[in-house]
Structure 1
């Protein structure tokens, strides 16, 4: 009876690292997917920021060339600049988040390597 129990315990010890490895693999894939999505979002935000800056410059030139209705154009420019600053802030946050995720991925990878080394 004892031999059966020891054998079952041995199987459980093998199952735990295997399930941990599968879980870590799954976590790594999810992190990679999240990083790709964030990179896509960063690209889109950078494009929007450039479009806003271009539009802001165009409006600035137009408002300087015309004498009338400068005040409404100035307000529009202020709002555009504010939006551009918000997008720039979001880009910085996403970039930092991406760096943090890369650190987490490296940490998970190191932990997985150590677990695999202990198995051998």
Structure 2
């Protein structure tokens, strides 16, 4: 997947939050929870991984109100294993660029940004 410029992603974001990934879960194509740490996502699979975020700070939103926790569905074509992603990202904090009422990533790749990009993101938000 080709990277998108940060400026473009910020421009298209409906919500920009500083948040911590409290947990990662997975559901099958019918929404049934999957708990097997070896369960995978990827092309041809209906499994979907989701980040469960705890919002620490709201930098921007188009909504009248944002809940304190958000469930962000990840792109199903990524080749991920549930246990690996849980170990890698649970507890991490970043800036999340999201869109829509269901808090989709603004773009499948690089929608989670490091905290050290905050000043640049805030600058881009002001210039929208």
Which is bigger in relative contact order (C-alpha 8 A, separation at least 6)? 1
The structure with the larger Rg is: 1
**Common topology (TM > 0.5):** no
Instruction: Select the structure that is richer in strand.
Output: 2
Pick the TM interval, shorter chain: under 0.3
TM-score (norm 1): 0.23
Instruction: Select the structure that is richer in helix.
Output: 1
TM-score (norm 2): 0.22
